[in-house]
Structure 1
């Protein structure tokens, strides 16, 4: 199935999202999400589950949810629900928070080490810098970056051709304008302000700042250009056939579920024959 053209564009194309992991990919559609991973044995497994994100149907509520500031609460709330819907995604999120806390604690403890302490103290005030270095290293030196590239290629193939095959995905770009990498610049801006903003509640308010900057400037050419640069050199790598096969299998399974294919067993892990 991973090799064949099983997913065709419906009357209205889906807006698909995804998240790469070290061993696979999560894809998110309008009603369902797919979780795919490759075991060490080479076997590919895909599971499709309903998306638990709440979307307002009332026209008035929908308009209010698009107002500045309020839209940020909806954005982060939906993100938390989405993260909680996948065990692997939740583990990745919790791990990132734990890594940030650990880095800050280590840097704070080292801030009293003579001349080196001043530098470590600076990094403790701006923990986003060492965290970004570790994040970029993990993306480029592990399979996560290749799965991230495979995720983009699969989505790009669907958006361009209306179907996803190995050939079409391989020919597609690993750089995508809707990638979450594009929000990194706004995270850095918000994090840089934290040491100089005296308000204790800024640790919460910065999330609103990040999303509002994203909503306001995220689709601008400079923002997309910076995001594309980060994707090309830091957060994605060219996938091998092994990562691409997982992405193709996952997205096709998701599209089948979104299209109402009765053969898709929701909530059941399915083994997909692997060729690579």
Structure 2
């Protein structure tokens, strides 16, 4: 596959980035000693494995789920590396040999439950809370209800992003997010993949998932105006 046809995407992780093409998923994490640990794994989308999943209605859902799974795995890997480095430092300070611990099945189960819980909290904050607030504000017509509801959802989303940016660790991840965009721009513009070549490029990429989510939220405000007032959360989720 030539470079022009090769589509690269990615996301920031703890002290690193995950990059993904149509065939490979790679995660690069900076360790505390300054070295960079790289993990590469082959990747074949379910869309290519099962042609039925390539239909427009199914394709988007499959891509979303795959991106979520790959993202969680990349974050987990980077988190494991960070924890391992911390334990190595502790053992070094205590004059003990560092023995990396393997993730057990129980830890994997807890990770899955944590992701599900976080997903549920996200639905509650970004979908249900705006509905409650809009009801309390007394918006009756479908047009006004969806306008107020959409404005509240958008406001909560922006406040959420602003709030987590104040956290040092999250801000660091956002910095890697910008670096990921710069490196993709460098690749797409056939520049050298070096810090010097990528630094002057924009940290805002048109295929950014966060920007896409923002656009979807704005567009949904106008779409929902024609669908009437939602009866409950179930009605909202069905949309």
- Structures share a fold, TM > 0.5? yes
Residue matched to 2:82:
none
Is 2:190 the counterpart of 1:190?
no
Alignment-derived partner of residue 143 in structure 1: 172
Q: What count of residue pairs does the alignment treat as equivalent?
A: 183
Does the 8 A contact of 1:33 with 1:51 survive in 2? yes
- 1:176 deviates by 1.7
Shift of 1:129: 3.0
Aligned to 1:28: 20
What's the offset of the Cα at 1:93? Answer: 6.3
Alignment RMSD:
4.2
Distance 1:187 1:105 in 2: 11
Deviations 1:100-139 (A, max 9, x none): 256479969x98xxxxxx57xx88x945532431124324
String of CA shifts for 1:25-50, please: whole Å, max 9, x gaps: 11111100111222344432211112
Determine the C-alpha separation between the residues in 1 that align with 2:126 and 2:184.
36
* 16, 23, 30: which one aligns with 2:8: 16
CA offsets per residue over residues 73-120 of structure 1, 9 Å max, x none? 211212212322342458796575244256479969x98xxxxxx57x
Change beyond 3 A, Cα 1:204–1:104 = same
Q: Secondary structure at the match of 1:196?
A: coil
Q: TM-score, normalised by structure 1?
A: 0.51
Instruction: Give the distance between the partners of 2:217 and 2:14, measured in 1 at CA.
Output: 23
Q: Write out aligned runs for 1:115-154 (5 A).
A: 126-127=152-153, 129-139=155-165, 142-154=171-183
Instruction: Give the structure, 1 or 2, with the largest relative contact order (CA under 8 Å, sep 6 or more).
Output: 1
Separation (CA, whole Å) in 2 of partners of 1:136 and 1:29: 30
| Alignment TM-score, normalising by the size of structure 2 | 0.58
Higher helix fraction (1 or 2): 2
Structure 2 portions without partners, runs of 5+: 77-110, 138-147
Identify unmatched segments of 5+ residues in structure 1: 1-8, 112-117, 206-276
The CA distance in 1 between the partners of 2:7 and 2:115, in whole Å, is: 23
Matched residue of 2:46: which SS?
A: coil
Distance 2:228 2:38 in 1: 44
Contact 1:31/1:51 (8 A) holds in 2: yes
